[in-house]
Structures are given as C-alpha cells and as structure tokens.
Amino acid sequence: MRAGILVPPQNFGLVEDGLYRSGQPTELSYPFLEQLQLRTILHLSADEPPAEFASWASEQRIQLVRLGAGADANMLSPWKPVSEEVVVEGLRRVLDPSSYPLLVMCNLGRHRTGTLIGCLRKLQRWSLTSVLEEYRRHACAKSRHLNEQFIELFDIDLVRVPEHSPPQLHLQAERGKPAG
C-alpha cells in the first residue's frame, strides 16, 4: 500500500454523522477505520470475529459488540432474516450516544447490516420505498425478499427511544416513549 492511500472496508457507507456501515474489515482497511475514531463496532454474526480483527479493535480501544451469538445463532444463517431480538438490541446500541462513533457490520455489509439499518430508517420515519431502495443499493443484485419483508413488518414499538438519543438521527418519536 502506498503511503497516504486509505482503503475503506467493502460496502462501506455513511448512515448518519458518526454512524457507519460496512462488511468485515481487513487489515488493509484498518488505517481508514482509525481515521473514524470509532468507539463501538456492532458485529452482527453468529461467528466469532476474526482474531486479527478483534485484536486490532482491542488495540484501538474500540468496544467490539457481537450480536447474534448463542440462541440467536440459528437466526443468522445466510438464508434467514436476522432475529427481531438482534435488531432490537442493535437499535438500542445505535440509539445510545455513548456508542458513537459507531460502525455496524456483518460479513459482507449487505443483509444483516442492511436489515438493521432498514429498521433504523423506519424508526426515523423514512418512507418504505426509500428504506428498501437503500437496502437494495447495498445488497446489489443479492437483495433478499425475506429481509425486505422483515423490514416492512418490523414493529418500531419494540424500540424505546431514549431521552438523550443521538441528535443526528432526527427521530420523530417523543423522547423516552416508544416510537409507534
């Protein structure tokens, strides 16, 4: 790698100020991620993160939160939507300002990440057409009807908006109340 060239992880994107999404970072993308000064990484996978990645996150003092282990592992197969429990817990962390700057990631940054971000967009009161367009843009030709259906049917009343959620999310819900 030439000096000064930064390489983002695959399927990297800005969701909101201080909130990012991507696929599994490689060593080549660590200098790029260091520029973001991340505080938290949500790793949406039933699998352990690669040891090299976990070690790098620890060295950077980034809290690496693995969602989808244990009982939820069966729901994270490549062909099943992410579980409701994983999405609700992920959104709880996304709504916590002490987690920022924050990266949401899964293996390719498409399906699990896209589903969580799609549910956040619903919480932000985006139109379903816009939510699904964003999901499809990151999933490319690999979009999955089951994930789109999960996003469409996700009950935002399951998510409690904290009184002090990140202002850049522009949540329409009354603070401290369910978003429905």
Kindly list the catalytic residues: 106
Q: Is 68 helix (H, G, I), strand (E, B) or coil?
A: coil
Give the tokens for residue 21. 């999404």
Q: Which two tokens stand for residue 118?
A: 């799609």
Residue 106: closest CA among 71, 140, 131, 82: 82
Tokens 């695959």 found at: 10
Q: How distant is the alpha carbon of residue 95 from its chain centre?
A: 12
